């Protein structure tokens, strides 16, 4: 008996304190109809935030929000384009809004600009890890850039696992790093992974966290046909430009054309809240912190489906929120602390574009966040023999996950389907990765105890194809929390491991998120 | 135990100083030490936040509070002890708004004026009831064997309308009953219950300001609007009401009787009921609304021969909800003290049992009651349809308004004088270094009858309700009374009953440590607590365990 006790590690103790019934209690409360789908800035969302704060408070965590509370305000700006216009010198035919182009501005409520000689910057990508730089030698400060949407070669950029270099937000940020005054993205059937019709969404409400005035004042999409017309008078046509842009040797091309751009925008300022609790570290590394995070928001009350209008979000993401609470509870009741501090964070407005987590990383003061573990859509289906993740080889967090999973006798499984569906960058871990903080997302496994081999895959299909983002994502009678508890045990073990390690987590040298590979970032 | 000692080996050296010292920590002390102020404050902050909308019975806020409490019970691993495997014990509630008429029947008929002369309501859950019957004056309407008192001796009131006084003969003669100290026999609720037991068809209570301790305006204010009560089976009573003393005087005169003379006689030993030569005709039309609201019930099982028996730790979670018009722009009645504090204490008590690992002998049942503010309805419903048989409920410890004012050197409870449970409480207080103060004023006001423990006392379960001490550490004498008065005058049952920045959990922790000790003592005692010989609940208590 003495030996087995001596062999018990702090990780064993904290894992043993994970309570299945606590997980169930939290999931059932948060996914109850009374919480009305937990949409940001609704009473259901605020109730959820209060509930989480009360649990953090009960557990004796230190308030990590604003002015001594657990709630951290995240100011948001929503803008809707109410009128847009585009004129091109030498082209008397009109350009039709929505059909030919979409414009928006994230900075002003009304603007009209005339720009001379915009610069074609190929795909607008700067990726030293891949030996790629579309801005080399370009003079774009204060000028409008025109870039192709998407990336030139998925075998290089591997948009499935890595940074979504093809995404519009990345291109806007990159243009901003080069001091451009605006950016227009060319939609092509060859490189853009969605149809032109989807760009209409950019004319509807777009929400972002409130941030310092960016240099980019105007953003937009051009249809392939519109781009061809704009480039018509140049020495080379669009197809020729695209051909050069797909090579590393590409150099930017100034276009001798004058554009008249006009945008009227309705701007709405509002806010959401993160809930932040802190378990202070106990060593010299206490200024550094590991984040255990999950978003608590969901879609609220919407159009009824089969008579049900409440989007309960039981799997997405009452489950992850419950994991964060259960992890905090396990640390508290096992009396476990670590060398580094641990932030327990429930993020708001994830469903609106990872906004709560962006607000959190933008506001880190005092403590340096060295790593983040994200819980988004967890396993409510039963005990499994494996645990899922995506891109574990991007940083040393993958190895920490391996060790924790092994201690729980679980295999780590990367499901290509999760990779394909962009699970890496479609949740809050991505907000941390974007600013250079190693982060990892835990997912459900595929191999379930007492189930046939294909059962896990079927459940996953049913979840993502049928229940995901519908009112039927509610607590089912057959859900069990034993699988969730396995995941939380892995979570607390790896968190403790990371928080006690002599060195903070590191990016792999070849990871596109490695800040060394990203000029303009820390 | 072996496991525990083994565990100690890997604990920090500070805990290993003396194994002997460790052994002297009793389970009761471990349990008391597990009471956590942080837990209590977190629950109060949540339950009293505006998001809970004042926790009105049958409202969204009330339902949210019930869900929260159930969720906490579930988290702690308490067994569901409500209806059909859930934590919820559903309470059927009926709300009636009466529209009555009352007249003297016969050739010489005369109508009485609603509100000016009388108030009257239906005792049946029906939209319209009528009764015509002769009157019988039954004095104080009391049957109290322990005081050798029976106002219903040698009179048949079956299908008649009884007219009675409220309070007890002790009001006029200090040697009778407990003098001015209000026993349950003096409460209006008792008068109605007794009239029903006697088979009467109606009851009219004669109002005087002295006997009721409140004026006629309180009567019209309380009984002319919507009345909320349990949906219970019908008794013989068809109608019940109050009649103003001046109006009763006139009515008696018509029957050739003298009310003042009869009132004086009623306070004398040997009084006999007096049939009056007068018939009244009453009709009450009522608009009816029905709903349910849950008590939330969780259980930590006992072990050993008494495991089937239970000790209840309870407090009501409901408050007054949202009301208009707003007071100073605030329409949410947060009820932080009344009774988010007591509810939080119930939750913190459950947490202390779970965290300390102390195993009770009798089971501990944690109940958050609904609809207390509507007249102890949740607890009454539980006592009428308990999930633990009534005979197996050993004791009830109720918490209604905790002390958030600060540390005290004393503590109090309503009912310490009523049963041997009071002795367990006093012992527990002593173990926490607190003296037990008796609040004489509360005895005269009849506070014992005004919270949920009373619903259990009435059916014979020894019960007490926690109160604050009055001597606050580091404060001048009388400071506590001033705080309580200020609370009563300015915040009680008002939107201002919120969490104030200066409130502290120190006093509430002192109180809850005593409660969990008393609960454990009641749980492990060889024999369950019993009523004291002088208690008006002794008879019910003995009947209960037969």
> Given a cut of 60, is residue B394 above it in pLDDT?
yes
Nearest chain B CA: its distance from A266 CA (Å): 31
Least confident piece of the model among A135-144, A395-404, B210-219, B370-379: B210-219
For the record, the structure tokens of B327 come out as 């007071």
For the record, the structure tokens of B4 come out as 């525990």
- Flag whether residue B10 sits within 8 Å of chain A, measured between CB atoms: yes
Q: Which of B75, B347, B355 to mutate to test the interface with A (most CBs of A within 10 A)?
A: B75
- Flag whether residue A7 sits within 8 Å of chain B, measured between CB atoms: no
| Contact assessment for residue B364 and residue B300, using Cβ atoms and an 8 Å cutoff | yes
pLDDT of residue B109: 83
Instruction: Report the relative pairing of strands A182-186 and A126-127 from DSSP bridges.
Output: unpaired
Q: What is the mean pLDDT of chain B?
A: 92
pLDDT of residue A6: 58
pLDDT of residue A116: 87
**Averaged pLDDT for residues B105-121:** 92
Interface contact flag, A2 B9, Cβ < 8 Å: yes
Surface of A (31-70) touching B: CB under 8 A: 32, 34, 43, 46-47, 50-51, 53-55, 57-60
For the record, the structure tokens of B473 come out as 């550490």
| Contact assessment for residue B230 and residue B94, using Cβ atoms and an 8 Å cutoff | yes
> Given a cut of 90, is residue B451 above it in pLDDT?
yes
Taking Cα atoms as reference points, which of B110, B298, B278, B305 lies closest to residue B202?
B278
Classified as helix, coil or strand, A70 is coil
Classified as helix, coil or strand, B327 is strand
Residue bearing the bigger pLDDT, A522 or B519: B519
Interface contact flag, A57 B41, Cβ < 8 Å: yes
pLDDT of residue B67: 98
B301: number of Cβ within 10 Å: 16
| Contact assessment for residue A176 and residue A141, using Cβ atoms and an 8 Å cutoff | no
Give me the DSSP letters along B229-254. EE-----S--EEEEEEHHHHHHHHHH
Interface contact flag, A54 B45, Cβ < 8 Å: yes
Surface of B (348-367) touching A: CB under 8 A: 355
pLDDT of residue A365: 59
* CA B268, B273, B275, B280 torsion-angle sign: positive
For the record, the structure tokens of A449 come out as 């105890």
pLDDT of residue A163: 59
Residue bearing the bigger pLDDT, B157 or A204: B157
Peptide bond preceding B266 in cis form (omega within 30 of 0): no
Q: Nearest Cβ partner of A22 from B60, B64, B75? A: B75
Instruction: State the Cα–Cα distance between residues B515 and B444, nearest whole angstrom.
Output: 25
| Contact assessment for residue A168 and residue A149, using Cβ atoms and an 8 Å cutoff | yes
Beta-carbon contacts of A281 under 8 Å, excluding residues fewer than 6 positions away, are: A287, A288, A289, A337, A338, A339, A340, A341, A342, A499
pLDDT of residue B446: 78
Q: Nearest Cβ partner of B71 from A8, A29, A59? A: A29
> Given a cut of 50, is residue B9 above it in pLDDT?
no
pLDDT of residue B146: 86
pLDDT of residue B22: 52
Interface contact flag, A333 B6, Cβ < 8 Å: no
Interface contact flag, B42 A46, Cβ < 8 Å: no
Token look-up 């060394």 returns A516
> Given a cut of 70, is residue B318 above it in pLDDT?
yes
Residue bearing the bigger pLDDT, B373 or B21: B373
Q: Nearest Cβ partner of A34 from B45, B49, B64? A: B64
B92: number of Cβ within 10 Å: 15
Strand partners of residue A263: A84, A111
- Flag whether residue A462 sits within 8 Å of chain B, measured between CB atoms: no
Q: What backbone phi and psi angles, to 5 degrees, belong to A189?
A: -70, -25
B7 to chain A: which residues are within 8 Å by CB? 5
B43 to chain A: which residues are within 8 Å by CB? 54, 58
A169: number of Cβ within 10 Å: 14
A357: number of Cβ within 10 Å: 31
For the record, the structure tokens of B241 come out as 């009401």
Instruction: State the Cα–Cα distance between residues B197 and B540, nearest whole angstrom.
Output: 14
Nearest chain B CA: its distance from A332 CA (Å): 11
Instruction: State the Cα–Cα distance between residues B468 and B406, nearest whole angstrom.
Output: 10
Enter the ipTM.
0.87
Report the greatest alpha carbon distance in chain A: 89
Beta-carbon contacts of B159 under 8 Å, excluding residues fewer than 6 positions away, are: B133, B199, B200, B201, B236
User: Which DSSP letter does residue A105 get?
Assistant: -
B42 to chain A: which residues are within 8 Å by CB? 54-55, 57-58
Instruction: State the Cα–Cα distance between residues B240 and B145, nearest whole angstrom.
Output: 25
B387-416: b (≥16 Cβ within 10 Å) or e = bbebbbbbbbbbbbbbbbbbbbebbbbbbb
For the record, the structure tokens of B61 come out as 């806020």
A163: number of Cβ within 10 Å: 25
**What are the CA-CA distances from residue A436 to residues A360, A362, A370, A439, A511 (Å)?**
14, 12, 9, 9, 11
Listed as ranges, residues in chain A with pLDDT below 50 are: 1-3, 160, 519-522
| Contact assessment for residue B464 and residue B300, using Cβ atoms and an 8 Å cutoff | no
For the record, the structure tokens of B452 come out as 């949920």
Residue bearing the bigger pLDDT, B8 or B62: B62
Beta-carbon contacts of B169 under 8 Å, excluding residues fewer than 6 positions away, are: B140, B142, B149, B176, B177, B266, B267, B268
pLDDT of residue A364: 78
Give me the DSSP letters along A385-401. SEEEES-GGGBTHHHHH
pLDDT of residue A115: 87
Q: Nearest Cβ partner of B46 from A46, A51, A333? A: A51
B347 to chain A: which residues are within 8 Å by CB? none
Instruction: Using CA atoms of A318, A324, A329, A332 in order, give the dihedral in degrees to the nearest 10.
Output: -160
Token look-up 């006392």 returns B457
- Flag whether residue B5 sits within 8 Å of chain A, measured between CB atoms: no
């Amino acid at each position: 008996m003495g030996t087995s006790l001596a062999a018990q590690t702090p990780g064993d103790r904290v894992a043993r304190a994970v309570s299945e019934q606590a997980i169930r209690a939290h999931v059932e409360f948060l996914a109850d109809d009374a919480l009305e789908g937990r949409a940001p800035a609704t009473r259901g969302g605020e109730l959820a935030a209060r509930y989480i704060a009360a649990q953090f408070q009960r557990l004796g965590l230190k308030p990590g929000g604003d002015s001594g509370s657990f709630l951290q305000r995240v100011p948001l700006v929503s803008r809707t384009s109410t009128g847009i216009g585009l004129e091109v010198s030498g082209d008397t035919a009109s350009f039709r809004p929505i059909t030919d182009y979409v414009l928006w501005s994230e900075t002003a409520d009304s603007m009209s600009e005339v720009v001379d000689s915009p610069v074609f910057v190929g795909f607008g990508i700067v990726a030293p890890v891949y030996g790629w730089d579309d801005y080399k030698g370009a003079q774009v400060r204060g000028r409008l850039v025109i870039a192709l949407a998407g990336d030139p070669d998925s075998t290089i950029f591997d948009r499935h696992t890595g940074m979504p270099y093809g995404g519009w937000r990345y291109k806007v940020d990159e243009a901003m790093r080069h001091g451009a005054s605006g950016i227009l993205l060319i939609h092509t059937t060859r490189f853009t992974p969605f149809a032109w019709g989807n760009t209409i969404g950019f004319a509807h409400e777009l929400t972002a966290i409130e941030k310092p005035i960016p240099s980019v004042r105007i953003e937009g999409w051009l249809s392939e046909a519109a781009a061809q017309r704009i480039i018509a008078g140049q020495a080379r046509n669009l197809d020729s430009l695209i051909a050069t842009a797909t090579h590393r040797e590409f150099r930017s091309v100034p276009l001798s054309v004058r554009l008249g751009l006009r945008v009227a925008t309705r701007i709405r300022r509002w806010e959401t809240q993160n809930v932040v609790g802190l378990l202070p570290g106990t060593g010299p590394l206490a200024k550094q912190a590991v984040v255990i995070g999950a978003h608590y928001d969901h879609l609220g009350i919407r159009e009824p489906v089969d008579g049900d209008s409440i989007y309960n979000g039981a799997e997405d993401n009452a489950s992850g929120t419950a994991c964060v609470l259960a992890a905090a509870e396990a640390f508290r009741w096992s009396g476990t602390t670590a060398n580094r501090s641990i932030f327990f964070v429930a993020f708001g407005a994830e469903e609106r574009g990872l906004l709560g987590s962006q607000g959190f990383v933008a506001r880190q003061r005092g403590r340096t966040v060295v790593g983040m573990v994200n819980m988004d859509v967890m396993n409510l289906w039963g005990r499994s023999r494996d645990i899922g993740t995506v891109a574990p080889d991007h940083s040393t967090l993958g190895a920490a996950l391996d060790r924790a999973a092994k201690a729980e006798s679980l295999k780590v499984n990367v499901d290509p389907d999760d990779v394909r569906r962009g699970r890496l960058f479609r949740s809050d871990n991505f907000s941390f990765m974007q600013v250079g903080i190693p982060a990892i997302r835990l997912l459900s496994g595929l191999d379930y105890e007492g189930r046939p081999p294909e059962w896990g895959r079927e459940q996953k299909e049913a979840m993502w194809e049928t229940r995901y983002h519908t009112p039927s994502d509610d607590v089912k009678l057959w859900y069990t929390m034993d699988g969730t508890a396995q995941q939380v045990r892995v979570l607390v073990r790896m968190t403790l491991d990371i928080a006690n390690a002599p060195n903070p987590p590191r990016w792999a040298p070849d990871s596109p998120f490695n800040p060394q590979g990203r000029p303009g970032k820390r | 135990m072996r496991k525990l000692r083994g565990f100690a080996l890997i604990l920090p050296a500070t805990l290993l100083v003396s194994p002997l010292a460790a052994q002297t920590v009793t389970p009761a002390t471990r349990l008391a030490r597990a009471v956590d102020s942080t837990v209590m404050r977190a629950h109060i902050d949540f339950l009293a936040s505006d998001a809970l909308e004042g926790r009105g019975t049958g409202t969204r806020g009330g339902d949210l509070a019930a869900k929260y409490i159930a969720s906490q019970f579930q988290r702690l691993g308490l067994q569901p002890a409500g209806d059909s495997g859930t934590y919820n014990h559903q309470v059927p509630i009926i709300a009636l708004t009466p529209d009555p008429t009352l007249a003297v029947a016969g050739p010489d008929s005369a109508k009485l004026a609603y509100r000016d002369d009388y108030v009257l309501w239906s005792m049946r859950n029906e939209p319209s009831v009528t009764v015509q019957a002769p009157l019988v004056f039954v004095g104080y309407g009391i049957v109290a064997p322990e005081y050798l008192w029976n106002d219903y001796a040698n009179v048949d009131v079956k299908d008649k309308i009884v007219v009675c006084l409220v309070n007890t003969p002790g009001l006029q003669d200090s040697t009778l009953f407990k003098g001015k100290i209000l026993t349950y026999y003096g409460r209006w609720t008792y008068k109605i219950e007794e009239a029903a037991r006697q088979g009467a068809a109606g009851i009219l209570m004669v109002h005087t300001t002295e006997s009721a301790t409140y004026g006629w305006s309180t009567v019209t204010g309380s009984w002319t609007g919507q009345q909320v009560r349990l949906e219970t089976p019908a008794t013989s009573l068809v109608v019940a009401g109050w009649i103003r003393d001046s109006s009763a005087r006139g009515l008696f005169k018509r029957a050739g009787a003298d009310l003042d003379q009869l009132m004086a006689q009623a306070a004398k030993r040997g009084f006999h009921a007096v049939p009056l030569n007068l018939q009244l005709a009453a009709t009450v039309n009522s608009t009816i609304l029905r709903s349910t609201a849950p008590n939330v019930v969780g259980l930590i099982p006992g072990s050993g021969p008494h495991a089937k028996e239970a000790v209840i730790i309870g407090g009501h979670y409901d408050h007054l909800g949202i009301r208009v018009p707003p007071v100073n722009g605030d329409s949410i009645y947060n009820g932080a003290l009344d009774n988010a504090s007591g509810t939080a204490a119930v939750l913190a008590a459950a947490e202390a049992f779970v965290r300390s690992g102390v195993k009770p002998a009798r089971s501990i049942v944690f109940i958050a009651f609904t609809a207390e503010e509507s007249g102890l309805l949740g607890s009454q419903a539980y006592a009428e349809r308990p999930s633990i048989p009534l005979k197996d409920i050993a004791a009830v410890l109720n918490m209604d308004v905790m002390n958030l004012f600060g540390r005290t050197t004393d503590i109090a409870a309503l009912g310490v004088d009523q049963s041997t449970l009071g002795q367990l409480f006093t012992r527990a207080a002593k173990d926490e270094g607190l003296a037990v103060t008796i609040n004489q004023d509360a005895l005269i006001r009849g506070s014992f009858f005004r919270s949920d423990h009373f619903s259990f006392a009435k059916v014979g379960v020894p019960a007490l309700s926690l109160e604050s001490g009055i001597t606050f550490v580091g404060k001048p004498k009388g400071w506590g009374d001033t705080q309580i008065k200020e609370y009563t005058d300015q915040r009680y049952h008002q939107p201002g009953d919120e969490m104030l920045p200066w409130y502290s959990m120190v006093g509430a922790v002192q109180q809850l440590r005593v409660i969990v000790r008393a609960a454990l003592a009641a749980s492990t005692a060889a024999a369950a607590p019993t009523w004291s010989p002088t208690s008006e609940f002794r008879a019910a208590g003995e009947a209960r365990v037969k």
